Amino acid sequence: MVHALAVAAASSPAPLDLPLVAALPVAAAAAFALAALSAVAGFGGGVLLLPVLVAVFGLRVAVPVLTLTQLASNGSRVWLNRADVRWGLVGRFALGAVPCALAGGFLLAQAPLTALQRVLGVFLLVVVVWRRMRPHPRPPSERAFVAVGAASGVGSALLGSVGPLTAPFFLAYGLTRAAYVGTEAAGALTLHVSKLLAYGAGDLLTPTVLAYGLALTPATLAGAWVGKRIVGRLSERVFVLLVEVGLVVAAVLLVVGV
């Protein structure tokens, strides 16, 4: 994983030449807005925040900083929705996610990432169409979430963030609002902890990375709190519609390669 990240960093565009006094407010504003988005839809923050962090800090710093902000974002969503988290699902999800996240890291250097992104985008579009055609699908079993976690672990290691991939399965299980947001966040938390362990083993969690992650944490926590307040005001029907719109947007971005 670490070698693959170094290869990707060497070929990535240089970060914007912003002074630190300007770079941190830009990154903090993006972290706040996208943490709020994640708290409402259950996903989306990591997918959209990574390009901002890459532009500001460069890829080698941006990837572990993103993982730290996602750790704070998902951790806060778990805490804010802790009464509704389905821990049995989280355990099964983690059973597949943790080993596959570590294994997926070793594939990062050789995997055709552009093709994988487009396949994931098409999959998401098919899922949304299928949900429209079958508004009351048969819910997946709890055991099926071991496979969902495994696919998410590989996808997270290869693509950085796979919230849109897991969303349809948690929705199909029947989770909405607080139960959906909290359970999805708890599952994602297992992925981010696994990746942080790998980054730490590879000396990527430098003092600079840790300082940036700490600096962005207050904005991330504030965004999660604002998003939680918004979710509490949404009806179940509007919430599901917003998530589906988010899935379509994520699918289009993946297909066109943004």
Least confident of 1-5, 180-184, 197-201: 1-5
CA torsion 5-6-12-15 (nearest 10°) is 100
- Residue 10 has a pLDDT of 42
Q: Which H/E stretch holds residue 62?
A: helix 59-80
Q: How confident is the model at residue 158 (pLDDT cuts 50, 70, 90)?
A: low
What letter does residue 162 receive in the DSSP assignment?
-
Least confident of 147-151, 202-206, 218-222: 202-206
- Residue 2 has a pLDDT of 44
pLDDT tens-place string over residues 231-240: 777 777 777 7
- Residue 11 has a pLDDT of 45
Q: Is the pLDDT of residue 196 over 90?
A: no
- Residue 85 has a pLDDT of 93
Query: In 3D, which of 149, 39, 143, 138 has the Cα closest to residue 94?
Result: 149
Average pLDDT for residues 116-132, to the nearest whole number? 70
Task: State the DSSP string of 173-206.
Answer: TT--HHHHHHHHHHHHHHHHHHHHHHHHHTT---
pLDDT tens-place string over residues 16-64: 455 555 678 888 888 898 888 777 776 666 666 777 777 777 767 777 8
Q: Is the pLDDT of residue 150 over 60?
A: yes
